[in-house]
Structure 1
Amino acid sequence: MYTILPRSRDAVLGVEISGKITLDQEKELIAKAEELIEDHGKISVLVVIGEHAGVSFEAAAADIKWVLANMQYLNRVAIVTDSKLLAALVAVDATFAKMVGIQEQHFDQTEIETAWHWIES
């Protein structure tokens, strides 16, 4: 399940993920991102990943496919989680993201306000 965070505005999309994301939910998020891209050209995304968050294989595949096809429209990506594994994965991915012009950064849950300031700047 996901929730669009109320601080989302303009070219910034904030999403909180809790529970498992289905393919239908992933399609809804993709549609929202595409609306913002149409309106603003480039977007930034803040994703808060809860303790019990997960994703179906189909939803993960759809997400990867969309990101690969739309990298040029992504400005910044902030991943907020206390997971050490996800923090390490973001650190690795950030190197590759930088090569295509995307700034990506991990923040702990206690740094949510810092993450918002970074994503909005």
Structure 2
Amino acid sequence: MIKIVDIGIKNALAFQISGKITEIDMKILLDKAKEKIKNNGNIVIFEKIDSFEGVEIAAIIEEFKYLYEIGMSNIIKFAIVTDKKWIEYIVNIEKKIFTNIQIKYFHFTEEKNAIEFLK
């Protein structure tokens, strides 16, 4: 499940993940991303992961369609907040792949720092 949250930053796409990500979750999230890009140009992303139980294949297809249509050039910063150590390793790999985006891992105890990073 994905829940859209407000972190007080106008151009932020902020959301919380718990459990499995469905196609409907992904569509809602990507529609919100399109809206933020339309209204603000560049966006920052705040992703808080409480638990992660996988992604429906249909959700992955929606994400690929979005990436083909919109791309990632409008994303300038990405903060991932979680206590899952394995995600920190993924973030370090993503930093090397997506060098034009500032990507940073934060522990739950550093959530305020994550929000400051996105400002």
TM-score by length of 2: 0.88
Contact 1:7-1:14 at 8 Å conserved across structures: yes
Is 1:18–1:54's contact at 8 Å kept on the other side of the alignment? no
* Conserved? CA contact 1:94–1:104, under 8 Å: yes
- Structure 1 residue ranges (4+ consecutive) displaced by more than 4 angstroms after TM superposition: none
% same residue: 31
Count of residue pairs the alignment pairs up: 118
Q: Give the CA deviation at 1:58.
A: 2.2
1:16: Cα distance to partner? 0.6
How big is the shift at 1:73?
0.8
Supply the AA of the counterpart residue of 2:76. Answer: N
Letter in 2 for 1:10: K
Q: Which runs of 5+ in 2 are unaligned?
A: none
Unmatched runs of 5 consecutive residues or more in structure 1: none
Does the CA-based 8 Å contact 2:17-2:51 persist in structure 1? no
Q: Once the 2 structures are TM-superposed, how far is the Cα of residue 57 of structure 1 from its aligned partner?
A: 2.4
Shift of 1:107: 0.7
Relative to total residues, which structure has the larger helix share, 1 or 2?
1
Q: Is the 8 A contact 1:8 1:14 kept in 2?
A: no
TM-score normalised by the chain length of structure 1: 0.87
Deviation, structure 1 residue 65: 4.6
CA shift, 1:64, in A, is 4.5
In the other structure, the counterpart of 1:86 is: 87
- SS of aligned partner of 2:78: strand
Task: Please name the residue that 2:10 is paired with.
Answer: 10
Residues 3, 94 of structure 1: alpha-carbon distance in 2 compared, 3 angstrom cutoff: same
Q: Give the superposition deviation at 1:8.
A: 4.5
Cα distance between partner residues in 2 of 1:72 and 1:55: 24
1:76 partner amino acid = K
